[in-house]
Amino acid sequence: MALADINKKILIPLVFVVLVLIGVALWAWTYYQAVGPNGIDTNDTSATSAQKEEKSLKAKLDTASSSKDKAKAYSDLSNFYANQPEAGDESVSYAKKAVEQEPTADTYAQLAFAAEQAGDVEQAIEAYEKAASMSEKTALDDGRSDYSYYMMQARLLRESQE
C-alpha cells in the first residue's frame, strides 16, 4: 500500500507538469504562427493588402493583350502609386506608359493627376489641357463636362503658381 501512495504523490505533480508544458508549447506555436519567423506580424493586413493589390495590378498588366487593356492596367498602377507620396515618379512613369499605349482624354487625365501628386505642376497643366482638347465639349445632365473640368484644373494649377 505504501508503494501505491508514493505513485499517487508522484503521478499527480507529473501530470500537472506535463499539462503545463503542453500549454506552453501550444502558446509558443500560436505566437510563432501569428508573428512568423522574421518577427513581422502576419496578422497586420495593412502592409500585405497593399502588396497584394500591387501584385494583382502587375498581374493584370502581364495578362493584358490589347493596347486598351494595357493602358487601363498602366493607369491603374499609376493611380495606385499616386496615392503613395514616396512613389510619385513611379506613378508618372506608369501614366506616361498609359498615354503611349492609348492616348485618350482619360489617360492624359491620369497623367495630369499623377504629375500633380508628384509635384510637377507644369506637366500636370499640359496633361490637363491635352485631356481637355481630346474631350467632348458637350455638357452632362448636370451642366458639367469633362472638358470644363480639365480646363478648370489646369487654370487652378496655373493660378496656384502665380
Where exactly are the structural domains of the chain? 1-43, 45-161
Predicted confidence (pLDDT) per residue in 135-144, tens digit: 776 555 555 6
For residue 88, which of 121, 64, 58 has the smallest C-alpha distance?
A: 121
Question: The domain 45-161: what is its CATH number?
Answer: 1.25.40.10
Provide the grid cell at 55.
Answer: 501584385
pLDDT bucket at 12, cuts 50 / 70 / 90: confident
pTM listed for this prediction: 0.65
Predicted confidence (pLDDT) per residue in 35-88, tens digit: 655 555 545 555 567 777 878 888 888 888 888 888 888 888 888 888 777 777
Question: Over pLDDT 70: what percentage of the chain?
Answer: 81
User: What pLDDT, on the 0 to 100 scale, is given for residue 132?
Assistant: 85
User: What pLDDT, on the 0 to 100 scale, is given for residue 2?
Assistant: 60
Intra-chain end-to-end CA distance of the chain, in Å: 102
User: What pLDDT, on the 0 to 100 scale, is given for residue 43?
Assistant: 53
Average pLDDT (150-154) is: 84
Average pLDDT (107-125) is: 88
Q: Which amino acid is at 9?
A: K
Rounded Cα gap, residues 146 and 41, in angstroms: 45
Rounded Cα gap, residues 157 and 159, in angstroms: 5
User: What pLDDT, on the 0 to 100 scale, is given for residue 38?
Assistant: 52
For residue 149, which of 76, 13, 134 has the smallest C-alpha distance?
A: 134
